[in-house]
A and B are shown apart, each in its own frame.
Chain A
């Protein structure tokens, strides 16, 4: 194997990292876009993600089918979302506080039920090799694309279209922008928000299943390292636009791959600094695109963040 590709290793690693690492960000942020477009914010998605990772892995272990695991993770995520949505439908309940409570609950339950599944090995989700033409093992590995990533990419376009041009999208946007207008149209905001939060939770659950069933591909209590929380921030960064979420997720994934890739080509000092790259990047982009006049462009009017 004589494949010393020198500095080309960095862009290839960033590309590979973007594809491998971004999927959980993508699913959680797409789910949160639906939720926030309906006027709710669900900070509990980190807990949903971890519980999805655990339940998906556990079911995949027990049934031998990774897709059964994904289905159960989505179901569990939907339950978490619905519970959040229902509690927030009660009067005078703060959705941010409930979100934090749900996050702790999700993680606690996942750790409790996940104990017996740290050891067993579950089947992995399939991936499609797109790099066979290159003859370069590094590129082949980077272009080994998981099916969930492709589904996520398709969903981001679909959600964008749905929010823009369908009746469901219109209903979501009306509920999110003005409770009064929605009521005047005869809609019931509480129910729609609860359903939107449930859908968002299901997406986050699938994101968790990707973590435990594909990359890194095992269940343990440290599996998440905060992807669920970062994805919620990513939604604001992407201005509540599903397609922007896709690129933001890629950016975060690629930036995360930078640290290991630089060390592997010999840029080894200061690796703690490179590991901070995704966060520095976020700050930089936020500053670059910020403007006092359109700071909250695209923000749903009923969001507790903006009110």
Chain B
């Protein structure tokens, strides 16, 4: 980075601070009192209408536009590189954003952390980040939902609907959130029939259309007849799998319109509720907690309406287990449980409930998942 760009940036920051001080006549005390104006920035790694991860966040951001006094600025297709730092700086300096939602996983370290140190008055909220009180700045927060529970419910329906007793999962990268989804999908199906196995194929990237289509075809060739995925845009997987005659479970957003007959249900984000709550709190001058988590019960995630193919038994079981999860304290990962290499994950009687932070460092695939993490 050249010195000229640094000095220009510092100059801009200086003028912005001086400007606000001149207009208000006092130093910024944003956090202590209610606001009447707030500019919020959203940054997406892909297109915001991708039937997937980015669309889910963009729908949440769109819900904020109706709150009086809130201005939403957005930028899409921002790579997880120095580019996201430039985007954050321009949102802060030119748009006057004081609350940023850089939504992609890879934005956190080092990009958000560097920006947070440079702009201590700006609040950074990251989806899925590993915020730790002893390591990370206090103007950074992390929020996420227990969407593994949604994949568990997907698995319950899949367990009823599979005839080959083999279900498939197209996964992007072997990070904890993805592994928890794969494991939950299988364990949901195994709650119906313990002989079911789940084949996982990793594509290695969040968005690779041709490879996702090839992976889906390979799963169908291997005899999987219910398929779900964890990639940024599930459109290709859903269309390819349905084209091959397999049932599909959705992820991130509702994809039922892509395969109306084959779509069983789906695990969807409900960011509009989460974002509305956070912005309402900020406007009222209340702080946002640094570590926000929630599941089905808190309205962070929701399930797509069941598709026409779902049998009455599957529906009844799905509804019973959803009610169980809504009570709170539900554990998908519970003993006796081994990983697919034979190591003990949980002994008899041991259980990791959905809120357990240990689940956020998952590095194994449970017994019954065919695949490996590396």
Contact = CB atoms under 8 A, between A and B. Distances in A.
Interface of A: 1, 3-5, 9, 12-13, 16-17, 20-21, 111, 115, 118-119, 121, 137-138, 141-142, 211, 215-218, 220-223, 225, 227, 256-257, 259-261, 263-266, 268-272, 275
B178 to A, nearest CB: 14
Contacts of B213: 20, 215-217
Contact of B47 (A16, A141, A220, A261): A220
A20 B374 contact: no
Nearest to B208: A225
A261 B213 CA distance: 12
Given A218-B209, A225-B209, 15 more contacts: A9-B218, A9-B221, A118-B49, A118-B50, A141-B217, A215-B213, A216-B236, A220-B207, A256-B211, A256-B214, A261-B218, A263-B201, A264-B218, A264-B221, A271-B204
B163 A1 contact: yes
B370 interface: yes
B222 A265 contact: yes
A140 to B, nearest CB: 10
Nearest to A227: B210
B210 A268 contact: no
Contact of A256 (B164, B199, B210): B210
Interface residues of B, number: 43
B371 A222 contact: no
B217 A16 contact: yes
B218 A263 contact: yes
B250 interface: no
11 contacts: A1-B163, A138-B221, A215-B210, A216-B209, A216-B212, A217-B213, A220-B46, A220-B209, A256-B211, A264-B221, A271-B204
Contacts of A225: 208-211
B225 A1 contact: yes
B372 interface: yes
Give the dominant DSSP class at A's interface: helix
Interface in B333-374: 370-372, 374
Contact of A13 (B47, B221, B233): B221
B220 interface: yes
A123 B223 CA distance: 27
Instruction: Find the residue from A217, A256, A268 having the highest chain B CB count within 10 A.
Output: A268
B120 to A, nearest CB: 35
A218 B236 contact: yes
Nearest to B219: A264
Instruction: Find the residue from B50, B211, B370 having the highest chain A CB count within 10 A.
Output: B211
Give 6 nearest A-B pairs by CB, closest first: A216-B213, A264-B218, A260-B218, A268-B372, A264-B222, A260-B215
A256 B213 CA distance: 11
B371 A263 contact: yes
B51 interface: yes
A5 B236 CA distance: 25
A217 B240 contact: yes
A218 B218 contact: no
A218 to B, nearest CB: 5
